[in-house]
Structure 1
Amino acid sequence: MIGIKVKYLRGKKGYSLNELAELAGVSKSYLSYIERGIQKNPSLQILERLADTLDTTVEDLLDKEKDLSNLDEEWILLIKEAIENGITKDDFAYYLSFMKFKNSQKEELE
């Protein structure tokens, strides 16, 4: 789950993989391994560099309370089904934006 958090925070900061690797002093390939879950246990030194660069803490990167493992089984099955049917992250973001818009329109009518 560390990789997912690093990738999310990197995107939130607007860094490319190369930019974050350079700023944190980590090789691009090693960072890629972390984000893809190939390297699941990076050293504390690497985590500290990434956390500092991403304006967070090592504790936050390691905090299991904030990961997706607490999703109930129904959500997990829905996500798996969506992926199996070819829904991309961009598609999901579009649907989410649409639902926010739809809900805001509904609230205006009430």
Structure 2
Amino acid sequence: MIGERIKKLRLQHGMSLTELAERAGIAKSYISSIERGLQSNPSIQVLEKIAGVFNTTAENLLKEDDIAPTKTIDSEWMNILQEAINSGIPKEELMKFIEFNKYKQGK
């Protein structure tokens, strides 16, 4: 069940198995075994890493219900965000930029 939800989220985000593995810092083969149901009891640390990639929580991954539909972030936006993180832009700066753009659009 957990593997099906992870695979569903991955595909909704237009992400390959390799891309998810790289972003989560988990071996591709391990994620594959989770998705295929061969590994049915991944650790909470693994689930938290995977959930972080999808901007959700490990708890949401474990829910029996379908994951509530959310606005998905395509891989291009995820790459841009990752690039901002890698270049050292703090969250606060990014939020200021977003707020400034909202203010500018409101005029």
> Under TM normalisation by the shorter chain, which class is it?
0.5 to 0.7
3-state SS of paired residue (1:66):
coil
Partner Cα distance (2:4, 2:65) in 1: 14
3-state SS of paired residue (1:42):
coil
Matched, 1:54 2:47: no
Matched, 1:2 2:2: yes
Of structures 1 and 2, the one scoring higher in RCO (CA 8 A, sep 6+) is 2
5 Å-filtered alignment, 1:2-21, equals 2-21=2-21
Identity of aligned residues (%): 54
Deviation at 1:55, TM superposition (A): 1.4
Deviation at 1:36, TM superposition (A): 0.3
3-state SS of paired residue (1:30):
helix
Please give the TM-score of this superposition, normalised by the length of structure 2. 0.60
5 Å-filtered alignment, 1:39-78, equals 39-66=39-66
Stretches of structure 2 that go unaligned for 5 or more consecutive residues are 68-107
Partner Cα distance (1:54, 1:66) in 2: 15
Matched, 1:26 2:40: no
Deviation at 1:38, TM superposition (A): 0.4
* Amino acid corresponding to residue 44 of structure 1 in structure 2: I
Consecutive aligned runs of 4 or more in structure 1 exceeding 4 Å deviation: none
Offset from partner CA, 1:61-87 (integer Å, 9 cap, x none): 1001338xxxxxxxxxxxxxxxxxxxx
Deviation at 1:56, TM superposition (A): 1.3
- Corresponding residue of 1:101: none
Please give the TM-score of this superposition, normalised by the length of structure 1. 0.58
Stretches of structure 1 that go unaligned for 5 or more consecutive residues are 68-110
